[in-house]
């Protein structure tokens, strides 16, 4: 069965995209735990991140590094944290979350509510920051 993330990549489900190349895709999480919470995925649909082939897994890390640098330029934070859960969506992904304290990465707390226009503007800003990286 096609994952919801593959449908996002194919444009069948909308998302707030921040980056894409031939093999990877990044977009804002629909239920962010912090402003700028982004998901980075391989286009190849594999459920469990550690079942990815070595090349795809290392490429995902390098792509996530670029995305994290873009996020940090837009969202004030001490650093961008990386979390892997994968309990909900069976398509490998990493969560990039701007952190100012440990509490920012608490998935049990109420999710952030953001207006759609604000989310769209944030995605555009992060996309542009990634595009401007050296």
Specify the residue, 14 or 76, whose C-beta has the smaller distance to ligand AMP.
Answer: 14
23 annotated active-site: no
Interface residue with ligand AMP, options 10, 12, 13, 118 (CB under 6 A): 13
Positions in 91-130 near ligand AMP (CB under 6 A): none
The DSSP code sequence of 40-98 is EEESS--SSGGGS-HHHHHHHHHHHHHHHHHHHHHS--SEEEEE---SS-SS--EEEEE
45 scored as a contact of ligand AMP (CB under 6 A): no
Specify the residue, 113 or 134, whose C-beta has the smaller distance to ligand AMP.
Answer: 113
Specify the residue, 13 or 133, whose C-beta has the smaller distance to ligand AMP.
Answer: 13
Cα–Cα distance measured from residue 65 to residue 70, given in angstroms and rounded to the nearest whole number: 9
């Amino acid at each position: 069965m096609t994952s919801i993330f593959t449908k996002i990549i194919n444009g069948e489900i909308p998302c707030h995209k921040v980056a894409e190349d031939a093999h990877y895709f990044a977009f804002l999480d629909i239920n962010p735990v912090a402003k700028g919470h982004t998901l980075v995925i391989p286009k190849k649909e594999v459920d469990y991140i550690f079942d990815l082939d070595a090349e795809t897994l290392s490429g995902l890390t390098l792509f996530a590094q670029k995305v994290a640098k873009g996020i940090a330029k837009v969202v004030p934070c001490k650093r961008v944290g990386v979390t892997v859960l994968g309990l909900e969506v069976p398509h490998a992904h990493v969560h990039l979350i701007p952190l100012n304290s440990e509490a920012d990465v608490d998935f049990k707390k109420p999710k952030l509510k953001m207006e759609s226009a604000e989310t769209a503007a944030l995605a555009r800003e992060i996309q542009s920051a990634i595009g401007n990286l050296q």
